[in-house]
């Protein structure tokens, strides 16, 4: 018999967990862009990315603002993102709307 050591699959499991942990929040922006460009109302984004939306809603302005800005990067220039919370259930929703005119 050969004396080659067998490799444990734990290294691959750890790499997969780290990759998924990093890819989930990074995929939030592209999911928002796809939702807006395909005419979706944001329901799928609200369900799949509820933890990210909760962080954006409950964290201080710099963190929440960065997350919302990231959700806006790939959207059409005439669109704006919206984030609101259902006061009864605490469920956060993400959506988008078209901006027709800006008054400053």
Phi/psi at 88 (5° precision) = -80, -50
Does residue 104 surpass a pLDDT of 60?
no
Task: Identify the residue whose tokens are 């998924």.
Answer: 20
Is residue 2 included in any domain, yes or no?
A: no
pLDDT band at 29 (very low <50, low <70, confident <90, very high): very high
Is residue 94 included in any domain, yes or no?
A: yes
Is residue 49 included in any domain, yes or no?
A: yes
Per residue in 4-26, pLDDT (tens digit) is 655 668 888 899 999 999 999 99
Is residue 76 included in any domain, yes or no?
A: yes
Is residue 54 included in any domain, yes or no?
A: yes
Is residue 3 included in any domain, yes or no?
A: no
Per residue in 60-74, pLDDT (tens digit) is 989 999 999 999 999
Full domain range(s) for residue 21: 10-98
CA distance 94 to 76: 16
Q: What is the number of domains present in the chain?
A: 1
Residue with the bigger pLDDT between 59 and 6: it is 59
> Would you say 74 and 33 are in contact if contact means Cβ atoms under 8 Å apart?
yes
* DSSP assigned state of 86: -
90 alpha-carbon distance from chain centroid: 18
Is residue 104 included in any domain, yes or no?
A: no
Question: What would the two tokens of residue 91 be?
Answer: 């469920």
Is residue 1 included in any domain, yes or no?
A: no
């Amino acid at each position: 018999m050969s004396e080659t050591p067998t490799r444990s699959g734990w290294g691959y499991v750890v790499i997969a967990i780290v990759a998924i942990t990093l890819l989930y929040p990074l995929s939030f922006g592209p999911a928002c862009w796809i939702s807006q460009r395909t005419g979706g109302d944001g329901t799928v984004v609200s369900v799949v990315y509820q933890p990210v939306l909760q962080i954006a809603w409950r964290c201080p302005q710099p963190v929440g603002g960065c997350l919302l800005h990231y959700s806006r990067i790939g959207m059409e220039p005439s669109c704006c993102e919206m984030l609101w919370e259902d006061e009864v259930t605490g469920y956060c929703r993400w959506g988008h709307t078209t901006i027709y005119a800006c008054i400053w």
